[in-house]
Structure formats: C-alpha cells, structure tokens
Amino acid sequence: MQHEPEGGAASGLWQPAVSTLHRLREHASDSRPAYALSALCAMSIPFGFGYTAKTAGLDPKLRPPRLVPPFWQLLGFSVFFGAGGYMIEQGDVLNGSGVLSAWSLTYVTFATLPALRHMHRSPLSMLLSASVVGMGLGIYANYYFDKASWRGAIPGLLPKPKASSPDHGSKGILHV
C-alpha cells in the first residue's frame, strides 16, 4: 500500500473545500450575518406558537413532530445571535464568533437533528437550519475553531522559535 506524497492527487481533491472554508473565514469580522440570523429567528417567533395551538387537543402519541422551535427558544436564539453580532461589531471577533458558534451548535443539536427526517415538510425549519449551519457554523465556527484565529490569545499556540546554531566563539568557549 503506497501513500500519496504531499501535494499529490489527494490534496488536489481537498483544495476547493479548503479554499471555500478560507473564503468563508474572511467574513467572520462582519456582524451582518449574525444580525441576519438574529432577525430570522425573531421573525419566526409567531410560527413557534403554531404548533402549540394546532396540537393542543391531540393525544401525545398522535402529535406530529415539532419542526419549528417554540417561541421562547426562538426568542433566546435571536437574542444570543444578536449579542454575538454586537460583540463582533465592537471589535471582539474571537469572542463574538465563539458565542455564535456555541449557540449555532446548540440550535443544530436540539432543533435540527431531532427533526431532520421530517424537515422537508416545513420550509421555515429548513431555512432556519440551513441559515444556522451556513452562517453560524460555516462562517463563525469556521473562524473560531481555526488555529490561526487564536494566535496571540493563547501563548501555547504561538509558533515555537527556531533554535539557532550556537556560536561558541562569541561566548568565550575554547574550541579544540
């Protein structure tokens, strides 16, 4: 079994994905995608009431799955996405991206994954999930979890200085 040399055909296959992720990372310093996520969640709040009103008298076993999160969850996501955007707007890109990454992962874990099988029934839930994955995870988590973003914030991530060859002649050590 032979391994591909670095820069071979295998790395050529990943190049478009790597360049796309790099281009998305460049937008992390812009707060507009975060505000767009916040506005989308806020505008979806009335639809969070619909499931409760529609299934109020049904037997719990006969209820269809909830595709749009409840109104209070949408309100919370709207507030947190907006807060992350505000942090980015004030110049704290790393922490704002961290807030957006955390709440995007929370949305995907608790709202998207349980409803994934039935999501084709609700264009709004598809739009919310695609927006959170695309903007929240694609832009901000991509930036936040990139090692280069943390340079200078954590001393251990700084590149190690290269050891120079010792110059014994300048330190007064005798050469034999």
Q: Which residues does 73 contact at the CB level (< 8 Å), separation at least 6?
A: 48, 111
Question: Is 125 within a domain?
Answer: yes
Instruction: Return the axis-axis angle of helices 93-107 and 32-43, rounded to nearest 10°.
Output: 30
HEC per residue, 86-114: HHHHCCCHHHHHHHHHHHHHHHHHHHHCC
Question: Is 114 within a domain?
Answer: yes
Quick check: 67 and 118 in contact, CB under 8 A? yes
**Predicted TM-score of the model (pTM):** 0.75
Domain region containing 146: 72-150
Number of domains in the chain: 1
Question: Is 33 within a domain?
Answer: no
How far is residue 80 from each of residues 16, 33, 128, measured CA to CA in Å?
32, 13, 15
User: What is the pLDDT, as a whole number, of residue 1?
Assistant: 45
User: What is the pLDDT, as a whole number, of residue 5?
Assistant: 47
pLDDT tens digits for the chain (176 residues)? 444 445 545 567 788 888 888 888 889 999 999 999 999 999 999 998 888 888 888 888 888 888 899 999 999 999 999 999 999 999 999 999 999 999 999 999 999 999 999 989 999 999 999 999 999 999 999 999 887 666 656 655 555 656 655 555 555 555 55
Measured over the CA atoms of residue 53, residue 59, residue 60 and residue 65, the dihedral's sign is negative
Q: Which amino acid is at 90?
A: Q
Quick check: 97 and 28 in contact, CB under 8 A? yes
Question: Is 9 within a domain?
Answer: no
CA distance 114 to 127: 16
User: What is the pLDDT, as a whole number, of residue 133?
Assistant: 95
The counts of H helices and E strands in the chain are 7, 0
User: What is the pLDDT, as a whole number, of residue 53?
Assistant: 81
Question: Is 119 within a domain?
Answer: yes
